[in-house]
Amino acid sequence: MGILYKKVQLTKELKRQMMIRQLLDRGITEHQGQSIYDLDYYTLRHLLATQKAVQS
């Protein structure tokens, strides 16, 4: 079970890095006064989805 947990965490971190890159490409570097590098996976996902909806 430890290997599966590590794989899931690695996948989540890779997705998090991709979302950070997409936000940076859109010119977003912070959210509510906090650097996007400090945001968790779910906050980044919400922020990116919101930005995609607004810019569409």
Q: Encode pLDDT of 18-39 as tens digits.
A: 999 999 999 999 999 999 999 9
Tell me which H or E stretch contains 3: helix 2-25
**In the predicted model, is pLDDT for residue 12 greater than 90?**
yes
What confidence score (pLDDT) does residue 1 get? Answer: 67
- Domain region containing 31: 2-55
The domain total for the chain is: 1
The DSSP secondary structure of 9-50, one letter per residue, reads HHHHHHHHHHHHHHHHHTT--EETTEEGGGS-HHHHHHHHHH
Q: Residue 50: pLDDT band by 50, 70, 90 thresholds?
A: very high
pLDDT of residue 36: 97
